[in-house]
Structure 1
Amino acid sequence: MAYPPSAPARRLAPTLLTLAAGVALLHWLAWDRLAAHWGVEATPGPRPAVQVRTLTPPAPAEALPVVVAKPAPPARRAPPPDATPTPPPQQEPEDVVVINTDPVLVAAALPADTALHMVPVARGEVGQDEVPVYRTQLPPPMTLGYELTYGRWTGRGELVWRPSGNTYEARLEGRVLGMSAITLVSKGNLDAAGLAPVRYTDQRRGRGEQAANFQRKAGKITFSGNPAEFPLLEGSQDRLSWMVQLAAIAQAEPKRVAPGSRIVLHVVGARGDSDVWTFQVEGSQEVSTPDGAVKTVKLLREPRKPHDTRVEVWLAPSLHYLPVRAKQTTENSSWDLRLQSSQPPT
C-alpha cells in the first residue's frame, strides 16, 4: 500500500529535481567541450531540453495609476431653422477682477498718455436762481496804479479799464523785481447785466497761460486746459471782471453797499473753477494812499470750502467805486493791491 509523501519530502522534491537537472547539464557541457577539444563531433540528435525552475515568492505588484477615460461630449445637433439661438454658457473667469471706481486711483493706475483725458463730473453746479441779476452803471475809463505785494515780494501793479461802445477790456499786470509776475486779461461785451466776459486769460510766472471761454451762443463756459464745462449764467464774471462789476453795481444802486448788505456773483477762474462769491458789506473804512486817506466801503468774501479763496476789497465812491485796495488769499498764495495813483486814459 503506497503512502503519500510527507510534508518534508514534498518541500525537498523541487530542490532535488533542480540539483539533478543541474548535474545533468554540467555533464553535457563537459562532454561537449571535450568533443570540441579532441575534434570529436557530438552525437547528432536533439539536445535534451533542460528546464530550471526557481521557487521564489512573487513580488508584490506596483500600484498602477487608474486612468478613467472621459467620455466624449455628445455631438451637437443642428437647431431647426426657426429655433431661437441659445447663447453659449458663460465661463467662470480664472481670476477675480476687482474694479476700482475711485477716479484718483484709476488715474494713478493708467499708463501715461497725453491723448487721454479724464472728464470730471460737475457737482453742485451753480444755478441762475442762486445768482441775482443787478442793475449796473459802468465806471468811466481809468488807469489805476498800485503797490503790489505778491507773496513775500513787493512790486508794482496796474489796472487798466477800457470800455468802448458795447465792448470792454480790463487788464491787470503785476511786476516784481522788474519781471512780470501776474497778468490777468478780461475781454467781452457790455449788456443789461453789466460786464459780459467772452474770454479771460490768466498768466502767472513759471506757468503756462490758461483761459476761460464764455460761449454765449452755446450757453456754456469752457476752458483751454481743462475739459470741465459749466452753464453760462446771466451776470457771470471772471476773476478780474468781478472788481469792475462790483463798482458798476454800487454806482447804479449805492444802497447795495450799505452795511450788512450782500452782493452775490458767479465767478469763474481760468483753471476750471466755478463758484458763488457772496460779498458781505462790512461798512465804511479809510485807506491810506500817497494822496491822503480815502473813504471806502469794505466788502468781504469768506471761503466756503477747503482751499477756497478769501477776498477783501475796498471800494472808493470818489473813484466811481473802483477798488482802492484788493486782496486775495489762499492756502498757498496771496496778492495785495494798494492804490498809489489814478488817472483817466490819455
Structure 2
Amino acid sequence: DPVPAAAAPSPDPAPEATAPKDPETPDLVAQAAPDSGAAPAPEPPASAAATPPATPGSAPATGAGEAPATMAGTQSLRIPGSVTLDFEATGQIGASPQRGVFGELVWLQDGTRYDGRLTLKAVFFTLLNWRSTGVIGPSGLEPERYSESRKAEVASHFARDRGEVVFSNNAPPVPLQPGAQDRMSVMMQLGGLLAASPERYPAGTRIAIQTVGARDADVWVFVVGDEEKLNLPAGEYLARKLTRDPRKPFDRKVELWLAPAHGYLPVRIRQTEPNGDFADAQLRKPLPTTPPG
C-alpha cells in the first residue's frame, strides 16, 4: 500500500530568495529540440499553515480575490509506491512542432528513501533527464539532490544541516524552506497531499511549495482545479488538474493532471513558456487498475 508520511508541525517558512537566473538554464521545452479568479477555498483547518502577508523575499503575494496559499510541509501525505509511467510528448518550439518524443517517469521508493527520474527521448537523443533522490520524512518527500542532464549535468543540493540549497554552477545559495521540493519531486509530493486528504483540497485551493531547479529556486503556487475527463494515448482517465500560473515576467506555466483512481499519479504534464513554446507529455501505456503500493 502507499506509504503514509506522518504530519508534523512546521516552523514559519524561512525567507525565500531566488538565485540569479542563468540565461543558459535549460527547461522542458527548450530541451525538446534535437540539437541543443479561482474561487476562494474554504478556510483551512488550524493545523494548516497559511502564507503570511507578503514581505520582501517571501512567498508570492496573494492577489485580490485569491484565497491564502497553504504552505506545503504541514500536512499528512500518502506517497505513491514504486511505479513506471510511459509518456508520449508533443510540443512547439518557435515555428517547429515537436513530435516523435517519448518519455518515462520511473519512481522507486522503499518507505525510507526514494529515487525519481523523468526523461524525454527522441530517436537518437536524450532530450531531458531530471532526477531527484532523497528520503521520506515527516514532511513527505525530502529531496537531497536534484539534477538535470543532457550534454552535461547540473545539480542542486539540499544542505539541510545548513538550511540552504547549494548549486553546482556556483550560483549563490538559497535559504531552504520547510516542505521544499524540486521540479521532479514536486509532482509526487502534490499527489501525496491529495491522496492523503482529497477533501481538504477543493477546487480553488492554492498550495505554495518552494520548488528548486538545477540553477535556481522559487515559490510555486499551484491552484487545484476540478476533475477533468482526459482522452490520452493510454485511454480515458479522470484527473484533478493543478495549475501553476505565471506570476512575473519569464515565469513558465505548469499544468499537472493527477489521477485519483491511481493514487494521484501524474497522467499528463504540460509546460508552457512565456513565448508560447510548450511541451505536453501524456500517458502512453495504461496504468494498473489499482493504485501502486
Normalised by the length of structure 1, the TM-score is 0.59
From 229, 254, 257, the counterpart of 1:311: 254
**Residues 57-102 of structure 1: CA deviation (Å, up to 9, x unaligned):** xxxxxxxxxxxxxxxxxxxxxxxxxxxxxxxxxxxxxxxxxxxxxx
1:28 aligns with none
Distance 1:196 1:124 in 2: 26
Q: Determine if contact 2:233/2:282 at 8 Å carries over to the other structure.
A: no
Matched, 1:137 2:83: no
From 205, 216, 224, the counterpart of 1:281: 224
Matched, 1:203 2:149: yes
From 190, 213, 222, the counterpart of 2:166: 222
Q: Secondary structure at the match of 1:228?
A: coil
Closer, same or farther: CA 178–124 of 1 in aligned 2, 3 Å: farther
Aligned ranges 1:327-346 → 2 under 5 Å: 327-331=270-274, 333-342=277-286
Q: Determine if contact 1:158/1:172 at 8 Å carries over to the other structure.
A: yes
1:257 aligns with 201
2:128 aligns with 182
**Residues 266-314 of structure 1: CA deviation (Å, up to 9, x unaligned):** 101101x211111112211111124431111111111111111111111
Residue type of the partner of 1:136? Answer: L
Aligned ranges 1:46-57 → 2 under 5 Å: none
Larger fraction in helix: 1
Aligned ranges 1:102-251 → 2 under 5 Å: 124-126=56-58, 131-133=71-73, 134-151=75-92, 152-154=97-99, 155-204=101-150, 207-251=151-195
Unaligned 5+ segments in structure 2 are 1-54, 60-68
Q: Determine if contact 1:143/1:343 at 8 Å carries over to the other structure.
A: no
Q: Secondary structure at the match of 2:106?
A: strand
Q: Secondary structure at the match of 1:307?
A: coil
Unaligned 5+ segments in structure 1 are 1-122
Question: Which consecutive aligned stretches of 4+ in structure 1 deviate over 6 angstroms post-superposition?
Answer: none
Q: Determine if contact 1:287/1:324 at 8 Å carries over to the other structure.
A: no
Q: Secondary structure at the match of 1:258?
A: coil
Q: Determine if contact 1:284/1:298 at 8 Å carries over to the other structure.
A: yes
Closer, same or farther: CA 297–137 of 1 in aligned 2, 3 Å: same
Distance 1:244 1:163 in 2: 11
In angstroms, what is the RMSD of aligned CA positions?
A: 2.1
Closer, same or farther: CA 124–228 of 1 in aligned 2, 3 Å: farther
Higher Rg: 1
**Residues 153-195 of structure 1: CA deviation (Å, up to 9, x unaligned):** 2210000110123110000110013310000000001111111
Tell me by how many angstroms 1:150 deviates. Answer: 4.6
Q: Determine if contact 1:146/1:157 at 8 Å carries over to the other structure.
A: yes
Q: Determine if contact 2:102/2:122 at 8 Å carries over to the other structure.
A: yes
Aligned ranges 1:71-90 → 2 under 5 Å: none
Distance 2:127 2:234 in 1: 27
- Identity percentage over the alignment? 38
Q: Determine if contact 2:88/2:103 at 8 Å carries over to the other structure.
A: yes
Tell me by how many angstroms 1:213 deviates. Answer: 0.4
By relative contact order (CA 8 Å, sep 6+), the higher-ranking structure is 2
**Residues 226-245 of structure 1: CA deviation (Å, up to 9, x unaligned):** 32111112210001100100
Closer, same or farther: CA 149–167 of 1 in aligned 2, 3 Å: same
Distance 1:342 1:327 in 2: 19
Q: Secondary structure at the match of 2:285?
A: strand
